[in-house]
Structure 1
């Protein structure tokens, strides 16, 4: 993993936690999520137009990856919006992102033939445990999730189920996109995928918010949603660029430094509690990240 990839991932994590904060801080997270991804489509249109003027269009394999990632991301954004509708930022974010930490390295090794040394495994495990601990507070402690699983009550928690589905789609698109950017420029890849997310945003609006005026939706929290769209767009372009030059098995876990940023945002701005176990989790995530940086 080279130094450029590290810089790209760190900036991406900051942007990713920021736009998740914008969603959670809104009055209606699901609606805000939909508007943000509609705005992302508008951002991507001029980029696609310029790309067609100055560069060659992707071949058939490239378009297969673009269509595939669009479908996976549509599912991801639907599940993410539902997760934040039913759960706190500090509960949803660690589960949704933490699941990927466990699955992505496994998929990277088995499907992409990537190699992870002993220090790499330690860093991944440290970040994984840290993410789970950061998700803890008195009302939504991550360990209560495991207790509910033992009692077979977890399916009754919509926040947990949607967070779990979000985590599965994170794993899927991470491995898929690692391959996709080998055939398509990251900026065009992201822009094309964003057009697909517009479909999801409009679909959620039509299904749940057709009674609400479009003008009212765009007028309320316009700047928040626009910044959320821009941050979301740039965040994943940076990750795609990092995936071109490094292993997804290490990129994905290191990206979870955003969990720390997200927890700090929740604590400072939304007054969500930051207790001892969560502080330990933050330390573990930093520890794991430092190990990955040391693998450069």
Structure 2
């Protein structure tokens, strides 16, 4: 893995944890997710006029990605209503690299070396340690199921977009048109919720919109990295965001128990790094 790929994806990891924290901290998460989708559209509009339409072979991947992201946004709203950021985020993101690496091995021919398997076990151990309290009084079974469902959508769109951006012929082609399509999410969420939209303060709306720009930037960096590095490695390194999310959850939201969440996040992050470096 080159330093260029590592720096690009680590930057995306921090930005991704940051915008998830914005969603978690929002009073009305549906409106916040709509503003984030609007931020994606605005991000695309800054360059969409300068890039051609993606190759037709990429369109099926793009359509599939739109549907998966729609489900992903819905599950985020549900999960952050049920559980803490420092629990939901590591579980949702932690097992995704394992499945992405395995999926890429079967579909794209990317193999997993021994060092990467060590990372797999570290990720699994970290998640199990984090989820110890999932069925206790402070964490519901539904929160765990929602986090796992988010993880499944992450695996799905990671593989779909990884193949789609390669088929498009140019990263910006795929990124621009994919983000522009998020206007469908905005049109679905806002028209029937105008009273709730107007009830939000300008500051809240601006935070949501800028969260969308941040989110779009993060995912654009990841999609670009997928054109120059294996899917499994990019996905693995990106999920170091679990460390950022755990720190944000503990420091910003005061979530606990601190020791378990921080230790499990470190274990997951260490495993992910092993996966990413196992080449």
Pairwise same-fold verdict (TM > 0.5):
yes
Whole-angstrom distance in 1 between the partners of 2:276 and 2:160: 24
Cα distance in structure 1, aligned partners of 2:82 and 2:62: 30
For residues 82-231 of structure 1, what are the structure 2 equivalents within 5 Å?
A: 82-133=78-129, 136=130, 142-145=131-134, 154=141, 157=142, 159-184=143-168, 185-206=170-191, 209-212=193-196, 214-217=197-200, 219-231=202-214
Residue 251 (structure 1) aligns with: 234
Q: What is the SS of the residue equivalent to 2:181?
A: helix
**Uncovered stretches (5+) of structure 2, i.e. residues with no partner:** none
> Which residue of the partner structure matches residue 264 of structure 1?
247
Maintained 8 Å contact 2:95/2:123: no
Is the 2:246–2:262 contact (alpha carbons within 8 Å) kept by the matching residues of 1? no
Query: Hey, what's the Cα distance between the residues in 2 that align with 1:83 and 1:201?
Result: 20
- Structure 1 residues 30, 189: closer, same or farther in 2, change over 3 A? same
Given that residues 41 and 195 in structure 1 are in contact (C-alpha distance below 8 angstroms), is that contact kept between their aligned partners in structure 2?
Answer: yes
1:163 CA drift (Å): 2.3
Q: Please state how far the C-alpha of 1:215 moved relative to its aligned partner.
A: 4.1
TM-score when scaled to structure 2? 0.88
Q: Give unpaired runs (5+ residues) of structure 1.
A: 137-141
CA distance in 1, matches of 2:87, 2:261: 11
Structure-2 separation of matches of 1:102 and 1:146: 24
Instruction: Quote the offset at 1:89 in angstroms.
Output: 1.0
**TM-score, length basis structure 1:** 0.83
Distance of 2:94 and 2:124 partners within structure 1: 6
Change (3 A) 1:128 1:232: farther
**For residues 114-169 of structure 1, what are the alpha-carbon distances to aligned partners after superposition, in whole Å with 9 as ceiling and x for unaligned?**
11100011123323433454xx4xxxxx1244789xxxx94xx2x33332222111
CA RMSD of aligned residues (A): 2.5
Q: Distance in 2 between matches of 1:162 and 1:200?
A: 20
1:62 aligns with 2:62: no
Is the Cα contact below 8 Å between 2:84 and 2:249 reproduced in 1? no
